[in-house]
Amino acid sequence: MSFIPLIVLSLVALAMYGLYFKLAAFVFKRTKLSWGHSFLFAFLLTVVVLGIRANTVIASGHVSGGVVSAVVVVVVLLLGSWYFGNFARTSVGQPLGWAGGLVLTLIALTLLILTGLALIFLNRVIGGL
């Protein structure tokens, strides 16, 4: 079994996460976020989400997908609030703080969800032709 598709998919996910967090910083009052911090958080996010998924699968096969998804969203929001609160800057150079980090993370997650819904819709429209 080749791991190349998994590696390519992981790299695409990291790039997509990094781009969406940078875009969210741009949308949120022109917040300053370096590319390095954007991609570092994307890597951190990927490791944490995969770790939670792997832990729930190993620990118990009886955990529902909804519970795991809720835990992942809460962890991502807390992690994003902490990380972006410290490393993202306002237009005047001040750290965003926890509340600003939370808003930035919510904007990025909303953009990701909207993109996913658009892709699902596009798949159904094209698949129905």
Q: Where do the domains of the chain lie? A: 4-127
Nearest to 45 by CA among 89, 105, 121: 105
pLDDT value, residue 21: 93
Q: Which residues contact 87 (CB under 8 A, 6 or more apart)?
A: 33, 34, 37, 41, 95
Displacement of CA 35 from its chain's centroid (Å): 15
**Percent of the chain with pLDDT strictly greater than 90:** 46
pLDDT at 128 over 80: no
Identify the DSSP state of 92.
Answer: T
pLDDT value, residue 52: 74
pLDDT value, residue 114: 93
Cα distance between residue 122 and residue 2, in whole Å:
29
Q: Which residue has the higher pLDDT, 44 or 3?
A: 44
Contact 77, 102 (CB under 8 A): yes
Q: Which residue has the higher pLDDT, 127 or 20?
A: 20
- Please give the model's pTM, rounded to 2 decimal places: 0.82
pLDDT value, residue 35: 93
Cα distance between residue 25 and residue 111, in whole Å:
12
